[in-house]
Structure 1
Amino acid sequence: MAASTPSPTPGPGRPARHGAFHRLTVAAVDRLTDDSVALTLAVPEELRAEYLHAAGQHLTLRRTVPGGTEVRRTYSICSPAPDPAGPGPQRLQVGVRLVEGGEFSTFAHKEVAAGDVLDVMVPAGRFVLEPAAAPAAGHYAAIVGGSGITPVLSIAATLLAARPDARFCLVRSDRTAASTMFLEEVADLKDRYPDRFQLVTVLSREEQEAGLPSGRLDQERLTGLLPALLPVAEVTGWFLCGPYGLVVEAEKALGELGVVRTRIHEEVFHVEDASAPAPAAATAAPAHGKVTARLDGRSGTWPIQDGESLLDTVLRNRADAPYACKGGVCGTCRAFLVTGEVRMDRNFALEAEETEAGFVLACQSHAVTEEVEIDFDR
């Protein structure tokens, strides 16, 4: 979502053409746990520049299910980021955890095999850390839950390899040892960087032979735990990733410990309706509203139909508009509000600095004024 420095700039992989999909071949499918797999995607030479990415960015995968419905799902890249000055990655890897009733995750677990071809959007996302922008002797930390390890694995591996003066502390929470994704990859980081990589594991439903007692990582527990692990005030950037509840509790703990908001970067992977804040109160929409949208250097103006989000209006006229989850979580549809006023129902993707700067989520935004202009190219 945001850079490790205060500016929420996109990573180097963000292409000029938004929302572009390409057909990539599945090079391997590796089972991580009983309910998670890693998909490795081969990137042909002619597309490698388009798949340059910063550590922490994600890919959107697309398929059409029987009946013609299009399904899109976003998965973080867990492989280290390539040199931004290089030709781009030969392979990309994402982790997919099985979700009960999930159309794409079930497909990935039961049907996808090496040699298959998938529709894959170019990298996106601002939950990134770029080693070149990291200060000398920077100290970073992450608090993750479950599959929230995937972008942080890329962030930690990329940073530690590129910056021999950097340190990284990872606090991860999982249900059980058997459900822990990328166990070997994280252990490998500990072996390679024993003096610079600190790992703390908490299991919520299983006791460990050594280490911390089991239980959830809530605000109270984190407030007591973090100062015992590392010098909280000296941490340059905090990366929080996982279920909504964990991210909120971690943010509260860091606030209580005096961490300034600009050092905290968040990405929510799953939002339970019961725990999420209610949508913003409805504001009467204009009777004859219209939206002007700029996308990939071209602009258009279209009428807004009753109840439509700005994204839905644009999609009726520009099928290439960028989106993935349509739930306010992934941030793929981020746009700059040029003129007019909108009501944004929910926001789990944009940080405070971004909304204050004028960015909105098109999938959650509804026009309040008769004319609204947004820019996907900013």
Structure 2
Amino acid sequence: MFHPLRVSAIERVTDDAVAVTFAVPPELRETFRHRPGQHLNVRHRVGGEEIRRSYSICAPASTGPEPPVLRVGIRLVDGGVFSTYALKELAVGDVVEAMAPIGRFVLEPRAGHFAAVVGGSGITPVLSIAATLLARERTARFCLIRSDRTAASTMFLEEVADLKDRHPGRFHLVTALSREEQAAGLPSGRLDRERLTGLLPALLPVPSVDGWFLCGPLGLVRQAEGALRDLGVDRARVHQEIFHVADDAPARPAVTTAAASSQSTLTATLDGRSGNWPVQEGESLLETVLRSRADAPYACKGGVCGTCRAYLVSGEVRMDRNFALEPEETGAGFVLACQSHPVTPEVELDFDR
């Protein structure tokens, strides 16, 4: 369900990025009380067309009775309809519709040593994770390794600097710039797998890190994932969220590679109500549901955000792309409805699990 939220503040954080804050009315405070690392799915009509996008919340998570702070980071994307609108037209007082915060790229505050490797706007959810953790858990430590093109393109510089000032000794920051030399710190260049494999053990005790959070473009996340694998890190300790994927990028393995069925019926449960519909040739299971249920959850339709995650109750599907679900999730029977096509004559999905 979408709720109208009024824009209360817009702050330019780089030449091509803004932070947008939404006012949360008292009756929706519990609905929009986010966990650190979650994101908002927003909806708005631009030029007569409904646009949905997913943006991570960068503000620390709150606890009652403190009201939630909904602040998201939006970076301009070439050809991006909503990001262009947000940077050039969106104004304080405007209303944007949003769903309740969702996402599994989260860290509930607990004692331990945690680390993140982020690139570009991948800092957005990690900023919420680190700020919430360090404020609530006095013994926790956090190491942030971030990669940006230049200092001028680095989002949330002041917020990250504030974490260093408020939590000396518990927050460690390492910055790499790919297109600019720094007066101090790492030499310029990309953080690829080989470089990270050598760098990470020099920065922190890799075997004793309790959780790794990788966020940013697909290339960086895959390189960091490979480095941690080379260093013997248990995959269960590695969490990742991908922000940008090229159209031809290889995805995680699909549920099956079998050909789609030419005639299938989909049964789906959503918000406690079930229905069944014939799947039209070539359409995804999400598109099948949307023909009758406009409230079906989705945002990117590209297999990245995970908003359309559903449990495969029965039948078999083929997923075209998967950049959102972990192997444990697909192994447990979850699929992305926007990327799934039926392989068997009967398929059943449950969006409520």
1:196–1:35 CA distance, 2 compared to 1 (3 A)? same
Q: TM-score, normalised by structure 1?
A: 0.91
Of 40, 64, 71 in structure 2, the residue corresponding to residue 59 of structure 1 is 40
Q: Which stretch shifts more, 292-301 or 204-213?
A: 292-301
1:111-190 aligned within 5 A: 111-131=89-109, 134=110, 136=111, 138-190=112-164
Counterparts of 2:174 and 2:266 in 1: how far apart (Å)? 48
Q: TM-score, normalised by structure 2?
A: 0.97
1:189–1:348 CA distance, 2 compared to 1 (3 A)? same
Residue of structure 2 in register with 1:14 after alignment = none
Are the equivalent residues in 2 in contact too, given 1:78–1:152 (CA < 8 A)?
Answer: yes
1:265-304 aligned within 5 A: 265-277=239-251, 283-304=258-279
1:214 maps onto 2:188 in alignment: yes
Residue of structure 1 in register with 2:8 after alignment = 27
Of 299, 320, 336 in structure 2, the residue corresponding to residue 345 of structure 1 is 320
1:309–1:89 CA distance, 2 compared to 1 (3 A)? farther
Of 352, 360, 363 in structure 1, the residue corresponding to residue 338 of structure 2 is 363
After the TM superposition, which segments of 4 or more aligned residues of structure 1 sit over 2 Å from their partners?
A: 87-91, 273-288
Q: Partner amino acid for 1:332?
A: T
1:2-151 aligned within 5 A: 20-66=1-47, 68-83=48-63, 86-87=64-65, 89-131=67-109, 134=110, 136=111, 138-151=112-125
CA deviations over 1:245-303 (Å, ceiling 9, x no partner): 00000000000000011000000000123443499686433233011111111111111
Q: Unpaired segments of 5 or more residues in structure 1?
A: 1-19
CA deviations over 1:90-116 (Å, ceiling 9, x no partner): 431000001111100000001111111
1:59–1:88 CA distance, 2 compared to 1 (3 A)? farther
Q: Partner amino acid for 2:6?
A: T
Residue of structure 2 in register with 1:3 after alignment = none
Residue identity over aligned pairs, in percent, reads 72
Of 235, 252, 257 in structure 1, the residue corresponding to residue 231 of structure 2 is 257
Report which structure shows greater RCO (CA 8 Å, sep ≥6). Answer: 1
Of 196, 204, 212 in structure 2, the residue corresponding to residue 230 of structure 1 is 204
Shift of 1:237: 0.6
Shift of 1:53: 1.2
For the residue of structure 1 that corresponds to 2:152, the secondary structure is helix
Cα root mean square deviation, aligned: 1.4
Counterparts of 2:216 and 2:54 in 1: how far apart (Å)? 14
Shift of 1:61: 1.3
